[in-house]
Chains A and B, each alone.
Chain A
Amino acid sequence: MKYLLLILTSLFISNSVYSQLNVVTTYPYIADIVKQIGNDKIQVTSLARGDYNPHVIIPKPSSIAKARKADLLIINGAQLEIGWLPPIIKQANNAEIQPGEKGFFDLSTCVQLIDIPTSVSRDLGDVHPEGNPHFSLNPDNILIIAKAITQKLCELDPENTSFYQTSVAEFVRIWRQKTKEWTDKMEPLRGIKVIEYHKVYDYFLRRFGLVIAGTIEPLPGIPPTTKHIGEVEKIIERDKIRHIMQDVYNPHDASEYLSKRLSVKMIILPHDVGAVKEADGIITLFDEIVRRMTQ
């Protein structure tokens, strides 16, 4: 009986309590930026968890309920969500957040993508025709994203325009300061060559002048083979590589094998807010990547 009451209350009361702008984001990093700008003027939820593979999120029905009530859906875009988000949007029966509507916002349209393939074929693995979608790991892009989100929030909730603009100005100030700090800390690593498991950290590495010598995956989304690991071993020895950048969600065994066999360090890095417990916000995410890279 108690349980039934609980269900009924959550069914009928939940919606009327909040009059704030209801923002739903695909990934936690977007939710945290929105939170920094909107604070208590908005309600924000992320559909995906930060410690899972952003390409393959299980589209839980509870996400449909979240999308149904959203005033604004903000996505990463560049086809990162193509494998799980379309059915959620389709089944949410929410006219406001359909692609092309005011309540749908694709962040990839605001930033410059890298590695746009000149030809696309699935024998190249899980390629993204629009370019590498992991642009959020360049701190300069976070500034662009924060400003674009602010503009969107002002458009949908003009009453709170001055609030959003004040908080984004403060966010920009802190972010510039932090970016300088990260740049200084990363300076000694400029020019070194690294290996990564999947092409997640390309934007970060380029921004701080590191060079990607190879990936542990033979092709995007394809698990490593013995033959390919052999080739990576040769690259590591030839280029005297010291760092393998490993994300939290892909299997670690290949990186672990290489780090044991050769004198190369496997660094497990967060890629999103919540990927490791220290990275609990957009600022601490970059703090943690820089700390793990430089320690």
Chain B
Amino acid sequence: MKYSFCVFITFLAIISPLRGQENSPEPQPKSSSPFNQSKFVPDISMIVDFSWVSRDLENDVFSELQIPGLTHHHHEEDHEHGSINANKGFNLNYGELSFYSIVDPYFDLFAVLHVAEEHAGLEEAYVTTRKLPYGFQIKAGKFLSSFGRLNEQHTHYLDFAERPLVLKSFFGDEGLNEIGTRITWVAPTDIYLILGTEMLMGENEASFGTAGFSDINGLVNIHESENPSLFIGYVRSSFDIEDAAVLFGFSYAHGTTRMDEDFSASEGEGTAVDANTNILCGDLTVKYIIDAIKYVSFQSEYVHRSTEGSLYSRDTSFTVNEYSLEKKQAGFYSQLVAKLGLQWRAGVRYDLMNINDVRIGNTNQNIPKNLARYSAMVEYSPTEFSRMRLQLNHDRSKYLHASEGLSYKPYTEVILQLNIAIGAHGAHSF
């Protein structure tokens, strides 16, 4: 008995490795690298925007256009991104390379590289907290401000090819995009309510600026702004009425506007500005969801900017004059966009700069106002990763600065835009 038991055990010992092999005939080869981290690759995506443009203005005229009192024509050197759809014919507008990952249990990181033909730049790079209690979240880094409704949206997500006139006038082509920090608090209520505040460096050239300046004789000596110099507060709320979602908000920005345009130089003429700027914005979005596929969305933002301070000018003999500077400017856009089918959307937009009062030394500069633009678009998206858009703009807001004064240059353009996304691109919010 004992003998047979021994034999049985020995038999088991012999067959057990064989049995093991039978159960898993092909043992999985172990990774050759024990320190492989490929599972931790962040979400990476690339967006490319390409367009064809037809316009009843020559390129060299178009590139010199400005909205008087609001935008200057683009100097090559201070123009990091290049205007989108700038040339007649084909344009490679931008590439956008983005990275996102959870960092650890406490932070998320998001970074976007704006890639143009000749150069690349860090458009956004920020961390957000994951675990703050009581409904708080902190964002820190470089990011698009949550001022207003549309500013924080990336260009590829816009409903039209370019940003609205009023946002472009006040914040430039790239929007209000600054280094700083943001704190938000979401209220624990049935109605959506968010309060947010941002402290930013205030370097946006279209409305703000921090540069100190002084003339060669030391008559004027303005220090650089105490940084951060731009403060933003906003409140946004939303509720549903049956199948319609209503989202509205108010935003306020306060910052310094200090600009030195050759004032501190030791030759030629120059001007400089030392002022404070306040911008107020009210926004409203109503999205009516018709059925599982279709919706109609109305969106509008009214933005008002006021700047008060001093304008300094210096002539070639270094005589300095100081004038009071007062600007009150405002505009809005309203758009209606409808999703008509699984792959189709269409929309119209109206832009208007309705206030444009600039007073220098109490003299009204009588700058043109009520500057409008009309846009219409049709969009076809074969999938959520590719989109073709045909847009028509009739622009009545631009002027050309000529020797005999301003000359009015209305124009019409047709844009056929192709926007492509590959990789792991995160979902968009409302």
Q: Which residues of A contact B (CB under 8 A)?
A: 7, 10-12, 14-15, 51-53, 58-62, 64-65, 68-69, 82-88, 90-95, 98-100, 122, 125-126, 221-223, 248-251
Contact = CB atoms under 8 A, between A and B. Distances in A.
Given A62-B240, A93-B132, A95-B133, A126 B192 contact: no
A98 B289 contact: no
30 contacts: A7-B191, A10-B189, A11-B187, A11-B190, A15-B188, A51-B292, A58-B295, A60-B287, A61-B192, A61-B430, A62-B240, A64-B192, A64-B194, A65-B186, A68-B187, A68-B188, A83-B427, A85-B427, A87-B430, A90-B429, A93-B132, A93-B135, A94-B135, A98-B131, A99-B102, A100-B105, A122-B385, A248-B292, A249-B293, A251-B293
Nearest to A11: B189
B189 A82 contact: no
Nearest to B133: A95
A93 B427 contact: no
Q: How large is the interface on B (under 10, 10 to 19, 20 to 34, 35 or more residues)?
A: 35 or more
A283 B37 CA distance: 45
Contacts of B188: 15, 68-69
Given A15-B188, A93-B186, A223-B342, A60 B245 contact: yes
B184 interface: yes
Given A93-B136, A94-B135, A62 B192 contact: yes
B130 interface: yes
A64 to B, nearest CB: 5
Interface of B: 102, 105, 108, 128, 130-133, 135-137, 184-194, 236, 238-240, 245, 247, 287, 289, 291-293, 295, 342-343, 382-385, 422, 426-430
Given A51-B292, A58-B245, A94-B135, A12 B430 contact: no
A271 to B, nearest CB: 11
Contacts of A14: 189-190
Contacts of A64: 186, 192, 194, 238
Contact of A82 (B137, B194, B427): B427
Greatest chain B CB density within 10 A among A84, A88, A90, A126 is at: A90
A52 B292 contact: yes
Given A11-B187, A53-B292, A93-B132, A65 B385 contact: no
A193 B394 CA distance: 56
Contacts of B292: 51-53, 248-250
